[in-house]
């Protein structure tokens, strides 16, 4: 069986978790603080705040910007449903904009027409690790004075060229960037998330909100020789990461450059193997984007049925997934009045499939995938 994805976890991660378990401090503590420092350094962000998962990170990003009922947040429907749900958690309204079919990312040419007097923020998704066009997006956002949150759930290790320099996603290029460490992403802590920002006030709010609105974290009380009483300043959440997760995350961070290099080699091999297949659309980087290749998404020709192709591949022991979902087609969003055409988003969901990709993928398995795809393309003519 060739899986769709496979995390690379080994003895180093297991040892790190074991040490924390035996240390006597397993909740948010020194390992989380160290993971935050190391993540911030890696992406070049002034501040990084670890949380329970990326969905929580997205919600805290909106909450820290005081976005709530009556506010509109522009984003894509063509994303994992967590992007839209985070907006709903805050009582705000997601306004969906279509994607550019070449990158599966928000089509910045359609951004201006979606902005109204109620627009407070844009959530730009770096879908499947492919950087969204932040230069174009930020130009529109700055012009209208709108905050930008990057949904970088899939994009740890991706890079974007801004003003001539290659920079890691997460610097951040908007106001806040949110990452996921779910096992389907490039590095994992089981569950986990991270917010980065250049704004110390936003970082302070993330820290308050992730821990019940508590004025003094329990780590500080624990280490104090004097009695301290804490206050609860706002209605916060319990969105903490554990020290067990953070210790695993620190080991994963050490591996990140190598994991991305290997994924880029796997993607390059796919491009070589599949490049000559007529009718198959391959993903490609813009000259200002370097993907971490969290996913490898190919567009099928119209004559092939997506589900049949996926089933035939599964019968040969190859796991695939259909193209990224469209949130506006799911019950919680289906009845809303969507103001803008989402034709490209719907086509991408219906006409593309995700192929297996992971750092340790063997070349023979890639050959196997390529042969199976070739057979499907040949079928289509019968």
Ligand X SMILES: *Cc1c(COP(=O)(O)O)cnc(C)c1O
CA 84, CA 95: separation in Å to the nearest integer?
A: 9
Distance, CA of 356 to CA of 297 (rounded, Å): 9
Instruction: Tell me which of 171, 185, 316, 362 is the catalytic residue.
Output: 185
Phi first, then psi, for residue 194 (nearest 5°) are: -150, 140
User: Which residue in 17, 114, 125, 357 binds ligand X (CB under 6 A)?
Assistant: 125
CA distances from 91 to 56, 88, 116, 120, 202 (A): 15, 5, 17, 13, 20
Cβ distance to ligand X smaller for residue 108 or 377: 108
Catalytic annotation on 185?
Answer: yes
Element (H, E) at 160: strand 159-162
Q: How many residues bind ligand X (CB under 6 A)?
A: 14
82 near ligand X (CB under 6 A): yes
Binding to ligand X by residue 59, rule CB under 6 A? no
**DSSP states of 264-297 as a string?**
HHHHHHHHHHHTT-TTPBPP---TTEE---S-EE
Contact between residue 71 and residue 146 where contact means Cβ atoms under 8 Å apart: no
Q: Is 89 a binder of ligand X (CB under 6 A)?
A: no
In the list 153, 156, 318, 369, the residue contacting ligand X (rule: CB under 6 A) is 153
User: According to CB under 6 A, which one of 17, 45, 49, 53 is a site residue for ligand X?
Assistant: 53
From the list 31-39, 40-48, 52-60, 310-318, the region that binds ligand X by CB under 6 A is: 52-60
Among 28, 31, 59, 83, binds ligand X (CB under 6 A): 83
- Cα-Cα-Cα-Cα dihedral of 137, 141, 146, 150, to 10°? 20
Stretch 181-240 residues interacting with ligand X (CB under 6 A)? 182, 193
CB 113 within 8 A of CB 378: no
Cβ proximity to ligand X: between 55 and 320 the closer is: 55
Q: Which is nearer to ligand X, 149 or 373 (CB)?
A: 149
- Segment near ligand X (CB under 6 A), from 134-142, 148-156, 209-217, 335-343? 148-156
Q: Footprint of ligand X on this chain (CB under 6 A)?
A: 53-55, 79-80, 82-83, 125, 151, 153-154, 180, 182, 193
Which residues does the annotation mark as catalytic?
A: 185
């Amino acid at each position: 069986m060739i899986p769709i994805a496979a995390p690379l976890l080994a003895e180093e991660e297991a040892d790190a978790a074991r040490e924390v378990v035996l240390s006597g401090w397993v909740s948010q503590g020194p390992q989380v603080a160290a993971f935050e420092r190391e993540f911030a350094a890696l992406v070049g962000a002034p501040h990084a705040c670890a949380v329970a998962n990326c969905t929580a990170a997205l919600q805290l990003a909106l909450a820290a910007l005081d976005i709530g009922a009556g506010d509109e947040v522009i984003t894509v429907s063509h994303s994992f449903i967590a992007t839209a749900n985070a907006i709903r958690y805050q009582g705000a309204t997601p306004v969906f904009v279509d994607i550019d079919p070449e990158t599966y990312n928000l089509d910045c040419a359609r951004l201006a027409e979606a902005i109204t007097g109620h627009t407070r923020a844009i959530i730009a998704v770096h879908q499947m690790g492919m950087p969204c066009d932040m230069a174009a997006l930020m130009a529109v956002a700055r012009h209208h004075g709108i905050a930008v949150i990057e949904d970088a759930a899939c994009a740890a290790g991706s890079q974007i060229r801004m003003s001539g320099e290659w920079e890691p996603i997460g610097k951040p290029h908007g106001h806040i960037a949110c990452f996921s460490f779910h096992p389907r992403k490039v590095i994992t802590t089981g569950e986990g998330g991270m917010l980065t920002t250049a704004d110390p006030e936003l970082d302070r709010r993330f820290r308050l909100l992730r821990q019940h609105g508590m004025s003094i974290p329990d780590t500080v009380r624990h280490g104090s020789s004097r009695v301290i009483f804490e206050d609860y300043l706002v209605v916060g959440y319990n969105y903490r990461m554990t020290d067990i997760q953070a210790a695993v995350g620190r080991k994963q961070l050490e591996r990140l450059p190598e994991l991305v290099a290997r994924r880029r080699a796997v993607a390059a091999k796919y491009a070589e193997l599949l490049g000559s297949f007529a009718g198959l659309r391959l993903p490609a980087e813009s000259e200002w984007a370097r993907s971490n290749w969290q996913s490898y998404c190919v567009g099928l020709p119209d004559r092939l049925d997506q589900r049949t192709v996926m089933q035939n591949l599964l019968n040969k022991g190859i796991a695939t997934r259909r193209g990224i979902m469209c949130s506006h087609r799911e019950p919680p969003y289906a009845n809303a009045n969507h103001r803008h055409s989402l034709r490209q988003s719907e086509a991408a969901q219906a006409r593309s499939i995700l192929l297996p990709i992971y750092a340790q993928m063997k070349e023979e398995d890639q050959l196997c995938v390529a042969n199976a795809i070739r057979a499907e393309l040949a079928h289509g003519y019968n």
